[in-house]
Structure 1
């Protein structure tokens, strides 16, 4: 069948009430009340009270903690007075429309997933409408309804499409742009067109109908209405959480584009997960927000794994570029040096751009979740895991940027013992947590030397963290020595453990012989420490004697 014929047949079915799911008489009356400016409180009260089940659910919703009512509302007329005509009508309409469609899986449509995603999208969109510069310009209840039915055309199109296509209908398992392309190719029409047509027939407000028209980058353009932009942003959030999309890096940048800080975005998202179950109950949806959060955390963890792989693969390339630049001689032509610098800058910029945004988005969301004491134990455990890994990768990225920069020490005479003691104090909690006993092998209270305190502290931190991570469980002790070697005019700082021989790739990195992707995180810290110490005219040494592995500066 030609696409034009498919399109004509589907359009005929959509515009014919005989082919669409049967809307209840009450739903039809609610829709008509929406388009009739003469509708009164009494008219709405009369329509809703025809259905005792709807009345009960509506009163539960109005009295729920989600709506923050302090006094109990016991009748629809009271609800209309307290909550407002528009709000009660929209709530009743949302409940009635949900009841029109089944639950479970039918062919290629998972109705449970569809409605779950729709409810999350509605709550997120409502949260956006109440924050930032749009808070006073939009009606949160209308935004909620628009978010809930944003993809309603998908259910209607599935309902009227040929049987052979129903079994393979992609539904929510495919990204929106791919889904619309599939629909246009196989059916000659897409579900957003269907949604626009049916919402016009149902006399929905123009702004809700307009939101069906735009999606993707086109919907986020500055000249689009706030409705369109908010609903698209909310759709992207739910697609990232529950769909095939995993572009976490989009979250913070899109939030800023809509006038929302990343902190406000994370607050809205966390609040949504805490509210969704109560609202779902009134719509007869079974949603477990803790299971959903766990699924989102697992998806975030997979993204962090990809980031780690990407960072590791880029790492050796960047490191080699830095080493090549460091080994360049003053005899090299200026043009060649500038070219090497430019190549390093461009490569580093590409790595940072690819990694920093998703890392900040995932880390920020996990940090906000960690503050919510109501989360389930396994969710909190996963959240802490995500937070820890995000911080580790952020540190690796930060160290990489620091290592790539030309470093000249800012020298001031300082008491090196005080510098070391201050550094150790910052690690005492970690040492206690890991049950590591710290043994000091020095007594002097003052050794004055010229140094860059901030950078030497950073170098010592890198060395200490390396030793801590290499410690064996059987002997959780760490010795730190500090002595002044007068005949050599040196100060020697040593860190010793019974961790055995240093891994070969770390020894090569530490001594400046080579860099291996296997040494990734620790290797970079050691390279940064070596760079700082070398700039101070110092050196690093490794010794293994009497079972003590000693790293000396």
Structure 2
């Protein structure tokens, strides 16, 4: 059993969370700007050679089946990858590079990004049917990707301890959330909030992570949180190959003014494109 002093020592290591580089911040701002042009995105992404290399590698992969050789990022975006895909992938890759999790062999980075992408894309699809200001598609997608970033932070900060946590969870059936709380002393949502606060990201992203499991939170961001709660639950079922019963989410969908039929169609689209999302998760985690 860990003492309170042990927990304080562990949380003291949070100060070692890496700052968000200026390049990554500029990338995040660019991909979240609905009016940004292709040339502006190319200019910002070019500040990160590793990101450009990853995107060019994707454009030249058999996955897209392009017959020629792509050596230019702008050409890759226009002729092969598509603008929206590049904007979506860039943020995920930047986060994955910033929080290196390779020291923890038990951490399944592919599954982490599969769940993150599935939930974020589903939330974004569902938000398209709402008229709520806080549910702008770019905000929904980015907050979905950032929601569980505390897991990455825990693995980055405490690789050996998290190795034991993952092994224990696999053997005992304990939830990862409970395992992290027991080992670190706080939930991964708390760690995620501390990281986003250190990075000085927009308050709405900090609020969603900080208040995600707070049933008494009643501010306007609660609608965004509710949307992510639904999407996280549905994404988990989808990635387990289980059916999604839309009727179980009736109250939440009504609160968000999302028709059940529309939600069912969005889930079916995600299920149909699951192989594509799997491929993107592989690219991000490699």
On whether the aligned pair clears a TM of 0.5, the verdict is yes
Q: Decide which of 6, 29, 39 is 2:23's aligned counterpart.
A: 29
Q: Provide closer, same or farther for how the CA distance between residues 180 and 281 of structure 1 changes in structure 2, counting only shifts above 3 A.
A: closer
- CA displacement, residues 68-108 of structure 1 (integer Å, 9 cap, x when unaligned): xxxxx9448979xx959xx966642222223454589823x
Distance 1:105 1:246 in 2: 32
Structure with a larger share of its residues in helix: 2
Q: Report the equivalent of 1:110.
A: 108
Q: Is the contact made by 1:59 and 1:74 (CA closer than 8 Å) also made in structure 2?
A: no
C-alpha displacement of 1:8: 2.8
Distance 1:172 1:130 in 2: 36
Residues 430-509 of structure 1 mapped to structure 2, 5 A cutoff: none
Q: TM-score, normalised by structure 1?
A: 0.39
Q: Report the equivalent of 1:4.
A: 4
Confirm or deny that 1:15 pairs with 2:15: yes
Give 3-state SS (helix, strand or coil) of 2:210's partner: coil
Residues 34-433 of structure 1 mapped to structure 2, 5 A cutoff: 34=28, 45-50=42-47, 51=49, 52-56=52-56, 74-75=74-75, 91-100=89-98, 101=100, 106-107=105-106, 109-134=107-132, 138-161=135-158, 163-164=160-161, 166-169=163-166, 179-216=176-213, 218=215, 224-242=221-239, 248=245, 250-285=248-283
Q: Is the contact made by 1:45 and 1:76 (CA closer than 8 Å) also made in structure 2?
A: no
Q: Provide closer, same or farther for how the CA distance between residues 170 and 282 of structure 1 changes in structure 2, counting only shifts above 3 A.
A: same
C-alpha displacement of 1:192: 0.6
C-alpha displacement of 1:173: 6.7
Q: Report the equivalent of 2:68.
A: none
Q: Using CA pairs under 8 Å that are at least 6 residues apart, name the structure with larger relative contact order, 1 or 2.
A: 2
Q: Report the equivalent of 2:67.
A: none
C-alpha displacement of 1:167: 1.8
Distance 1:224 1:141 in 2: 15
Give 3-state SS (helix, strand or coil) of 1:15's partner: helix
Q: Provide closer, same or farther for how the CA distance between residues 3 and 170 of structure 1 changes in structure 2, counting only shifts above 3 A.
A: farther
- CA displacement, residues 424-479 of structure 1 (integer Å, 9 cap, x when unaligned): xxxxxxxxxxxxxxxxxxxxxxxxxxxxxxxxxxxxxxxxxxxxxxxxxxxxxxxx
C-alpha displacement of 1:182: 3.8
C-alpha displacement of 1:202: 2.3
Q: Provide closer, same or farther for how the CA distance between residues 144 and 223 of structure 1 changes in structure 2, counting only shifts above 3 A.
A: closer
Distance 1:221 1:16 in 2: 32
Q: TM-score, normalised by structure 2?
A: 0.69
Q: Which runs of 5+ in 2 are unaligned?
A: 31-35, 65-72
Q: Provide closer, same or farther for how the CA distance between residues 261 and 170 of structure 1 changes in structure 2, counting only shifts above 3 A.
A: farther
Distance 1:259 1:213 in 2: 25
Q: Which runs of 5+ in 1 are unaligned?
A: 65-72, 288-553
- CA displacement, residues 302-327 of structure 1 (integer Å, 9 cap, x when unaligned): xxxxxxxxxxxxxxxxxxxxxxxxxx
C-alpha displacement of 1:151: 0.7
C-alpha displacement of 1:15: 2.0
Distance 2:119 2:101 in 1: 19
Q: Provide closer, same or farther for how the CA distance between residues 159 and 91 of structure 1 changes in structure 2, counting only shifts above 3 A.
A: closer
Q: Is the contact made by 1:118 and 1:148 (CA closer than 8 Å) also made in structure 2?
A: yes
Structure with bigger gyration radius:
1
RMSD: 4.4
Q: Provide closer, same or farther for how the CA distance between residues 126 and 111 of structure 1 changes in structure 2, counting only shifts above 3 A.
A: same
- CA displacement, residues 109-154 of structure 1 (integer Å, 9 cap, x when unaligned): 32222111111111111111111344x6533133222212311111
